[in-house]
Amino acid sequence: MTGYVTHGSDQSLWAFRLPLLQVGVARAWLERVCEETKAEERRDAKRVLVLRTDKAIQWEEDRRWDDMISLARVLGV
């Protein structure tokens, strides 16, 4: 399934233990990721699940998608 990975976007939360990552927020994030991976619905690969600074969890357009696809092509990935 495409579009159902965090792409490491939560790594800074875990590594640096940012104040944003409170136990309730972390659980909500993990539960949502789990729900989304179990869902049968296919999503546009250009959309990513994000944890916003206001602690909202939602799907957004990946603003770096085109740049990363271009880089992957140059690298032959």
Specify whether the CB–CB gap between 3 and 39 falls below 8 A.
no
User: What's the whole-model pTM score?
Assistant: 0.57
Reported as a single tens digit per residue, the pLDDT across 10-48 is: 666 566 565 656 778 878 888 888 888 888 777 788 988
Q: Which of 5-9, 26-30, 33-37, 51-55 has the lowest mean pLDDT?
A: 5-9
17: region left, alpha or beta (phi > 0 left; psi from -120 to 50 alpha) = left
5-14, 26-35, 53-62: range with lowest mean pLDDT? 5-14
Residue 1 is predicted with a pLDDT of 38
Q: What is the DSSP letter of 8?
A: T
